[in-house]
């Protein structure tokens, strides 16, 4: 059996550095590793609509933003199929059948859905489509027979739910679907990058994101305004690195080589942290270093993004071609599913022959 990747993002905004270290960067490494037979990267517009039904324009405008972010980071349409979810109607059909295999109480227990319901104040009026999006996400994954789903930690309950659906489907209808594994970032700091305000999650609505498409000046301004250790008031004070966003970002982004280049007084991040904790190291110095590190990472992405954006019709062509390939694969899986579920009436010559025989003998 081949190794297949499927993953994706909701097009509700431009992608930020949290997406980048949490998933995007890894995808590109996996893509270039040559270890995978097929790679599918999906722009989840239908899922975005589950809580943006009244704002289709937002979703529509952000599809191109996400596609540009993908291409700028190095996702390569020659190696990865980039496609748009809503263009694959087979996914809806699969979702419809999976709905028979999941209980309401199981959905209510999904921790991601639970916390999103809270975040969106959906308590009393949650759209059915939103409530059931874990089932549709299971369709996204299984349609491609994905073995590997590289995502951030917050998506773990979705993969778990997908595995349960696969297990149930296979045990009821016979071995058809593939149980996927989640692939989390190996660097702990990358699991969940906090916002620049120190809040646990980067989110557009909190206004605490650094975007891949931010200008150099915007990135610098955001870093210099970053939340740090609130008790580290004077340079001499001992500071805390744990839970300090500036150091979490450094954990995620900096390598020893950055010290030689930008901060040669220190050999590595451990030495810098030790000094900060001892006292005598100011936030501004650390932030300036982080700025250098992050600009190095983001500069090539920003430049490539600008270049690719000069030919938007070409980007849509990539998505259209990708959607065509994705649809072919999903249709193949759906046909197998329908065969397993015995709802493939017209291709089931045996069924027709057997019934023909039976009805003939009954009329005798």
Nearer Cβ to ligand TRP (47/228): 47
For the segment 236-295, give every residue that binds ligand TRP (CB under 6 A). none
Among 10, 220, 232, 258, binds ligand TRP (CB under 6 A): 10
What 3-state DSSP class applies to 42? strand
Residues 50-89: x where in contact with ligand TRP by CB under 6 A, - otherwise, as a string: ----------------------------------------
CB nearer to ligand TRP: give 203 or 295: 203
Q: Considering only 3-11, 200-208, 267-275, 307-315, which stretch makes contact with ligand TRP by CB under 6 A?
A: 3-11
Choose between 149 and 315: whose C-beta lies nearer to ligand TRP.
149
Are 286 and 246 in contact, with CB atoms under 8 Å apart?
yes
Burial of 39 (0-12, 13-18, 19+ CB in 10 A): buried
Which of these segments, 2-10, 284-292, 297-305, 350-358, binds ligand TRP (CB under 6 A)? 2-10
| Position of minimal CB gap to ligand TRP | 44
Cβ-Cβ contacts under 8 Å for 175 (sequence gap 6 or more): none
Stretch that binds ligand TRP, among 1-9, 120-128, 170-178, 232-240 (CB under 6 A): 1-9
- Which one of 31, 52, 137, 142 is in contact with ligand TRP (CB under 6 A)? 137
Binding residues for ligand TRP restricted to 148-207, rule: CB under 6 A: 149, 151, 155
DSSP summary character for residue 195? P
Which of 4, 5, 7, 194 is in the footprint of ligand TRP by CB under 6 A?
7
Half-sphere exposure of 321 (CA within 13 A, CB side): 12
Q: Kindly give, in sequence order, each residue whose CB lies less than 8 Å from that of residue 153, ignoring residues fewer than 6 positions away.
A: 22, 184, 191, 192
For ligand TRP, the binding residue among 140, 214, 229, 297 (CB under 6 A) is 140
Strands (E) in 107-187, as ranges, are: 148-150, 181-183
Q: Left if phi > 0, otherwise alpha if psi is -120 to 50, otherwise beta: which for 74? A: left
Q: Smallest distance, Å, CB 125 to ligand TRP?
A: 21
Paired tokens of 321 = 């071609």
- CB closer to ligand TRP, 137 vs 291: 137
Alpha-carbon Rg of the chain, whole angstroms?
24
d(CA 245, CA 230): 11
> Least separation, in Å, of the C-beta of 12 and ligand TRP?
9
Strands (E), the chain: 4-9, 38-43, 81-84, 148-150, 181-183
Segment interacting with ligand TRP (CB under 6 A) among 8-16, 117-125, 204-212, 282-290: 8-16
List interacting residues with ligand TRP (CB under 6 A).
6-10, 44, 47, 137, 140-141, 149, 151, 155
């Amino acid at each position: 059996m081949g190794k297949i990747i499927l993953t994706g993002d909701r097009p509700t905004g431009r992608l930020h550095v949290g997406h980048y270290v949490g998933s995007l960067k890894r995808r590109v490494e996996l893509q270039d590793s040559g270890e995978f037979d097929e790679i599918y990267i999906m722009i989840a517009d239908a899922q975005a609509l589950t809580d943006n039904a009244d704002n289709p324009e937002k979703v529509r405008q952000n599809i191109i933003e996400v596609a540009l972010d993908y291409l700028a980071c190095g996702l390569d349409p020659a190696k990865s199929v980039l496609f748009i979810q809503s263009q694959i109607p087979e996914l809806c059909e699969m979702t419809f059948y999976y709905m028979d295999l999941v209980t309401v109480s199981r959905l209510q227990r999904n921790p991601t859905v639970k916390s999103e319901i809270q975040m969106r104040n959906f308590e009393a009026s949650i759209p059915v489509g939103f409530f059931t999006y874990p089932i549709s996400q299971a369709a996204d994954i299984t349609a491609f027979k994905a073995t590997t789903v590289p995502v951030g930690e917050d998506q773990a309950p979705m993969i778990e739910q997908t595995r349960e659906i696969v297990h149930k489907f296979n045990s009821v209808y016979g071995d058809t679907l593939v149980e996927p594994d989640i692939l989390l970032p190996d660097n702990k700091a990358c699991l969940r990058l906090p916002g620049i305000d120190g809040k646990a999650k980067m989110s557009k609505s909190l206004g605490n994101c650094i975007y891949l498409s931010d200008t150099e000046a915007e990135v610098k301004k955001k870093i210099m305004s970053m939340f740090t250790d609130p008790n580290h008031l004077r340079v001499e004070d001992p500071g805390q690195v744990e839970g300090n966003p500036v150091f979490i970002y450094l954990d995620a982004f900096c390598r020893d080589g950055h010290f030689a280049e930008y901060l040669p007084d220190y050999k590595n991040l451990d030495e810098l942290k030790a000094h900060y904790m001892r006292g005598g190291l100011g936030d501004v110095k650390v932030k300036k270093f982080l700025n250098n590190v992050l600009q190095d990472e983001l500069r090539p992405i920003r430049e490539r993004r600008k270049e690719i954006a000069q030919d938007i019709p070409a980007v849509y062509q990539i998505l259209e071609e990708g959607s065509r390939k994705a649809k072919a694969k999903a249709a193949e899986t759906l046909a197998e599913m329908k065969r397993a579920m015995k709802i493939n009436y017209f291709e089931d010559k045996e069924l027709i022959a057997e019934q023909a025989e039976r009805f003939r003998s009954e009329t005798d």
